[in-house]
Amino acid sequence: MSAISFKHLTKNYGSLFALNDVSLDIEEGEFFGLLGPNGAGKTTLISILAGLCRPSAGSVEVMGHDVQTDFRAARRLLGIVPQELVFDPFFTVRETLQFQSGYFGIKNNGDWIDEILHHLGLADKANKNMRALSGGMKRRVLVAQALVHRPPVIVLDEPTAGVDVELRQSLWKFISRLNQEGHTIVLTTHYLEEAQELCGRIAMLKKGQIVALDTTANLLARVNNSQTKDGDL
């Protein structure tokens, strides 16, 4: 079974097609990269997956559960790290994670929360108010929040935009470990270098369509080839 299956997904705003008939299967256990320039449709794809936005046509399944018709089951399987830093500023870091655990009906999640905080370098911030954290620290909390219910599929929407090298490295070490333990990881990024370091397979999105889908090694060979020929992918 695929971890995520996008089926003929279209999203249009009038004549603008943010997504145009996108079909894509991401298999269980993959570290998958969604690459594309500004406006390519990456966030729209993730928003539909997260149930935040309705497709104009097509459907998405998470491990066989349709996001439109079986949302709670699909959402339970997904850990989503969005781009926006939205928190209750008066919650502490720990309260933020406990609140998120509560959403999924999980009680007594303290040990797992401590482990996440430790791996994300947030242990000493556990009792700080969210409003007192730096942008990079808030981004770490976003990742922690996505993991509280131990989702088998983790989706990160440009998680390293504007964060320092140290966080990048600790974040990727932790996410790679989760992937080795069997979690499916989907990462959106603008950067081929970032995707090539981490992802086994990459889809390139452009103007709402998949223009390339291949293993990272094959895609890099095509990029190098097209650069020498000065062509497009």
Residues that bind ligand ATP (CB under 6 A): 13, 16, 18, 36, 38-44, 190
**Shortest CB 144 distance to ligand ATP, Å:** 22
Residue 70 tokens read as 């079986």
Residue with Cβ nearer ligand ATP (38 or 228): 38
**Shortest CB 209 distance to ligand ATP, Å:** 11
Contacts of 215 (CB under 8 A, 6+ apart): 200, 201, 202
**Shortest CB 111 distance to ligand ATP, Å:** 35
Residue with Cβ nearer ligand ATP (36 or 55): 36
Cβ pair 185, 179 in contact under 8 A: yes
**Shortest CB 162 distance to ligand ATP, Å:** 13
**Burial call 173-208: b when 16+ CB within 10 Å, e when fewer:** ebbeebbeeebbbbbbbeebebbbebbebbbbbbeb
Residue with Cβ nearer ligand ATP (217 or 233): 233
- Tell me phi and psi for residue 109, to 5 degrees: -100, 15
**Shortest CB 55 distance to ligand ATP, Å:** 12
Residue with Cβ nearer ligand ATP (13 or 90): 13
Cβ pair 146, 80 in contact under 8 A: yes
Residue 149 gets which letter from DSSP? T
Residue with Cβ nearer ligand ATP (65 or 190): 190
**Shortest CB 147 distance to ligand ATP, Å:** 22
Task: Identify the bridge partners of residue 156 per DSSP, sorted by sequence position.
Answer: 81, 187
Residues in the chain: 233
Residue with Cβ nearer ligand ATP (16 or 132): 16
